[in-house]
Chain A
């Protein structure tokens, strides 16, 4: 139905896509897989006319096309539903579906919107999707899953031949995913070509008829699910020879330290700890001086775990114990007081306070824990900031420059400094190496290992499996917001990957 061949796309000197191909067939659900930065979204943008490729051809039902805008590609019959529902919650279901192209009445459509016709057509569409909702209800009153289906209804209302779904399931729970899938199966039966982008491997095997994998902007291959079992799929995405475990990086001291941990009561311990829609209940212990790695794909519940532990979101099941004492955090300040620290994944939104100076950003958490009084004197602040700037090698002209002017890696280090200044017992790092260069990554990892040797317990969350392997004493694997298992130090990358992608054994 839709065939893309030899697609190249460069942004400046950077090649984002090189010779990528994709072949969507009518009546098939086609999964597009790849890690972050593999080029999936760029490819989708090209298919939908948001950007134009530098080379390559697109053909729809055998005819070459070159959509110049999303509207143009929509007219050709290529409809897209994006990850976040980008509809208007204050408008009704029907208004959302027809937004921008309301049916009109009267001569040349000059009169009012044809409300009855809009409702009629909306009902017909919803019936096609097996959706029983009132088209006059405001969209915001419906659950997210239904909103997602309304977005699909909108996409179909333009006589789509090709439907592109960009991570439609990331905000849905299991039963909602199932109802979405039954709709997709119906649509597949009616001859639509569906492109499905997701990070959830089990969903790929539940619905996809064909899989295309991209890696670093290149086409890796196209398979049917039967040809490509999950470990092979992960290997294709990650691109490492999975057989080669990174045994060389294992620390010889590991066995000795493991013994030392025996008999020691955990610093922090979770029991059946979870929250509806965010994280299935799980149990986890963190000991002093231990680095526990958390591996899992995007959306596997890694960030949710960290946020729940730190009191940023409210847990609604299980217990969290700090040094044997059960606590229930309702505000991060409580977690901080008990010696927890958390470097969030979203550095810009949750981490830095951009217009404050590096110095103020570094002292913020320490001062917040101390309260309003006593205030850390400016001289002391400078001294503290200077110490961490040197210790972590933060490249800042001086500690009084706004932190927003630092590079990403240096901002990350400054955030680490903010928490180190509070001398935490438990350090939670969520994707601390995201978006920073290799050298900075290594420095950060060395620092984390040094801290652990000094007795700090660290929860290290990363999507880079080799990093997790290199640094962790134990690895907790999350999959589909569940704990899939726990692996000891010395596990090979292949074993971790197996656990990451293996379907949940009931």
Chain B
């Protein structure tokens, strides 16, 4: 489902419809999700050609296994963070503190769980200081609070979004390091691991959480007027205010929600790696998230956004990362490889660049020496 330009629920069209009557083909070609989907298909194809096992899915011990499942599962934290960021960007804002908030949320979870253990029924078991629900709630609340603070600075104090969240990016990273005492806090409480690496009905829980966030947001945006208000604020905040839209309140809520999403991602990440690392958890994640959002077709200038596009964007980034690992690119050059691919993807996304490319490809024959 898309939440792009209007509120109707049109499923993403296939990139290449069969036997095209002109109008359907043209509509597909104009569909905002066409290029993100094509990019994802391309990267998957490259991956598959180097790693023939990519498409191999199997059902083992009541769980679904396979490279694709891993990709989707690993993409989950990024997808959740990017979904929250999508709304922020739609209001013509930005939040570069999401990575730091991921670290904070993980650290809070680790602290609430604590490091107690005991002999239970004859086996050595790690315990949690708090009930699991409270642990998760605490971590999410920490994230939402950081986001709300960003929102207050931006909507009430009038700071530029990039500055307000830059402050949170630095202060938040510092707070996370303070919470973890600069160490990697390892988490031993087994039930917590289910979030990041467990399975539910045979499917990975992390991916299901991302799906739930996506579904919940889509429902919220389509069933309520939030989507309309967010786009109005992103396009013309003054006019939105005159029309009676509570622009400031909505802006604050949107940032708080973005923080909440980062909190969710923090829980998933810390559960997956069974530890909270104030220094490295979520490091540079904000950049991946901004990339995912833009690849998905959301405009940084606000007003137009696509949740489905963002999810595809997150999958593209994760597939790319997995592919780089899978084909054995040496670690010291994998950032360079990633940069080159992202560069190519962004060029392809640029309508202007495509127009130039098209002009070169179909240049009238008279013009050149050929």
Contact = CB atoms under 8 A, between A and B. Distances in A.
Contact of B232 (A364, A371, A378): A364
Interface in A387-433: 400, 418
A370 B224 CA distance: 11
B312 to A, nearest CB: 23
Interface string B237-255: 0111111111000000000
Contacts of B246: 331, 333, 368
Nearest to B222: A375
Interface string A332-362: 1101110000101000011111111100100
B225 interface: yes
Given A312-B242, A344-B242, A364 B6 contact: no
Contacts of B229: 367-368, 372
A501 interface: no
Given A333-B244, A364-B232, A372 B225 contact: yes
Given A333-B246, A357-B6, A367 B228 contact: yes
Contacts of A350: 238-239, 242
A376 B231 contact: no
A367 B244 CA distance: 9
Contact of B243 (A349, A371, A376, A418): A418
B226 A364 contact: no
A332 B225 contact: no
Given A365-B244, A400-B6, A353 B239 contact: yes
B235 A378 contact: no
A312 B247 CA distance: 13
A356 B231 contact: yes
Given A357-B6, A378-B8, A364 B231 contact: no
B239 A368 contact: no
A202 B7 CA distance: 55
Contacts of A331: 241, 246
A107 interface: no
A351 B235 CA distance: 12
Interface string B286-310: 0000000000000000011000000
Contacts, number: 89
B60 interface: no
Interface residues of A, number: 36
Contacts of A354: 235-236
Nearest to B220: A372
Considering residues B223, B225, B231, which has the most beta carbons from chain A within 10 angstroms of its beta carbon? B225
B238 A372 contact: no
A373 interface: yes
Contact of B236 (A332, A333, A352): A352
Contacts of B241: 312, 331-332
A349 B238 contact: yes
A285 to B, nearest CB: 24
A84 to B, nearest CB: 18
Given A356-B231, A378-B8, A351 B242 contact: yes
A355 B242 contact: no
Contact of B245 (A310, A333, A355, A357): A333
A375 B227 CA distance: 10
A372 B303 CA distance: 18
Contacts of A400: 6
Given A356-B231, A364-B228, A369 B244 contact: yes
Contact of A375 (B224, B232, B304): B224
Given A368-B245, A372-B225, A352 B8 contact: no
Interface centre among A356, A373, A418 (most CB of B within 10 A): A356
Contacts of B244: 332-333, 335-337, 365, 368-369
A335 B245 CA distance: 12
Q: Which range contains the number of B residues in contact with the other chain? A: 20 to 34
Interface in A472-503: none
Interface in B1-50: 6-8
A372 B226 contact: yes
A225 B229 CA distance: 54
Contact of A353 (B7, B8, B224, B236): B236
A352 B303 CA distance: 13
A342 B241 CA distance: 11
Contacts of A352: 236, 239
Contacts of A351: 239, 242
B120 to A, nearest CB: 47
Instruction: Choose among A312, A344, A349, A364 the residue with the greatest number of B CB atoms under 10 Å from its CB.
Output: A364
Contact of A355 (B223, B225, B238, B304): B304
Contacts of B232: 353, 356, 360, 364
B7 A364 contact: no
A352 B238 CA distance: 10
A247 B223 CA distance: 54
Contacts of B225: 367-368, 370-373, 375-376
Contacts of A365: 243-244
Task: Identify the interface centre among B239, B240, B244: most chain A CB within 10 Å of its CB.
Answer: B244
A375 B226 CA distance: 9
B264 to A, nearest CB: 22
Nearest to B226: A372
Nearest to B250: A372
A336 B231 CA distance: 20
A450 B274 CA distance: 70
A378 B238 contact: no
Contacts of B228: 356, 360, 363-364, 367, 375
Nearest to B240: A353
A364 B243 CA distance: 7
Contacts of B7: 378
Contacts of A357: 6
Nearest to A363: B228
Interface string B101-127: 000000000000000000000000000
A370 B246 CA distance: 11
B238 A364 contact: no
A400 B8 CA distance: 12
A369 B240 CA distance: 12
Nearest to B245: A368
A379 to B, nearest CB: 10
Contacts of B304: 355
Contacts of A367: 225, 228-229
B235 A355 contact: yes
A137 to B, nearest CB: 23
- The CB with the most chain A CB atoms within 10 A, among B229, B231, B238, is that of B238
A184 B223 CA distance: 62
A373 B236 contact: no
Interface of A: 310, 312, 331-333, 335-337, 342, 344, 349-357, 360, 363-365, 367-376, 378, 400, 418
Given A351-B239, A354-B235, 4 more contacts: A331-B246, A336-B244, A355-B235, A374-B224
18 contacts: A312-B241, A312-B242, A332-B244, A333-B244, A335-B244, A344-B242, A349-B238, A350-B238, A350-B239, A350-B242, A353-B239, A365-B244, A368-B225, A368-B229, A368-B243, A372-B224, A373-B223, A378-B6
Q: Top 4 closest A-B pairs, CB basis?
A: A336-B244, A368-B244, A372-B224, A333-B244
